[in-house]
Amino acid sequence: MKIAAGLEMLEISAIVMGKLDTIHPILIWDDESAILVDTGYPGQLPKFQEALENAGVSWDRLNHIIITHQDLDHIGSLANILADSPQVITVSANKLEQPYIQGEKQLIKITPEAIELAVSSLPAEVPLEWRKAFRSVLENPPKAQVDCILEDEQELPIGGGVIVIHTPGHTPGHISLFHKPSKTLIAADAMAVIDGQLHGPTPEHAVDIQLATQSLHKFIQYEIENVICYHGGLYRANNIHQRIKELATV
């Protein structure tokens, strides 16, 4: 879905845990660069190739990937994309997420208990070999090198200007982005859109719910006309700032 010139909200769908899950990575591009924000679940390389082509951006133009945080649905296809690319792609993330993305530390939320719960939650009809493959991915998540460290309030000279916003809480190094030309907040997992309404962080998804809620205050300084959440997609309203203030004081 085109949000503005040089800004596309992708829609990538897959069956996850027996249910259809649609995520919304972002594509930002200009004459010099094409930047993908987050890389979905493992095995979604073909879906990303198709999504870029549908957006009118050839696959060989992709030269930068920004990872907002370490969760598996954000890093899942990173290694495959890098291996498939005809050119060198720079990978950027916050320094607190770097060791997890690079596989030096186990992903925070993928504990042995979480793995057992996830496997046991699969529908009964899922074949044994699929269950084993699922467990293997959780125990050995994809990993890739992070080339560039992103700092809070850093402005990236791409697509007319993109500001990095460190929004810890969902994970320690979670970042959101603000696309200046279109006044679009790329919230990642700092917020979510559910049934058309903007919602804040939840305890079951944030490693520090208090910090995740406090991080929403950082959005208020920006003149926001669009919010894109990784889960739920686009949110537009006349009272975006008021809604964010409400969520930040819960």
What would the pLDDT profile of 10-64 be if each residue is shown by its tens digit? 999 987 766 788 999 999 999 989 999 999 999 999 999 999 999 999 999 999 9
Model's pTM, two decimal places? 0.94
Cβ-based neighbour number of residue 126 at 10 Å:
13
Distance between CA atoms of residues 74 and 66, nearest Å: 10
CA 131 to chain centre: 25
CA–CA–CA angle 188, 167, 67 (5° rounding): 45
**Which two structure tokens, joined as six digits, stand for 125?**
């009809």
Give 139-156 pLDDT, tens digit per residue: 999 999 999 999 999 999
Domain 2-116+140-248 CATH assignment equals 3.60.15.10: yes
Q: Judging by DSSP bridges, how do beta strands 64-66 and 90-93 pair with one another?
A: parallel
Q: Judging by DSSP bridges, how do beta strands 12-16 and 7-9 pair with one another?
A: unpaired
Distance between CA atoms of residues 24 and 37, nearest Å: 9
Give 115-146 pLDDT, tens digit per residue: 998 888 888 888 888 888 889 889 999 999 99
Question: What residue type is assigned to position 238 of the chain?
Answer: N
Using CA of residue 123, residue 126, residue 132, residue 138, what is the dihedral sign?
negative
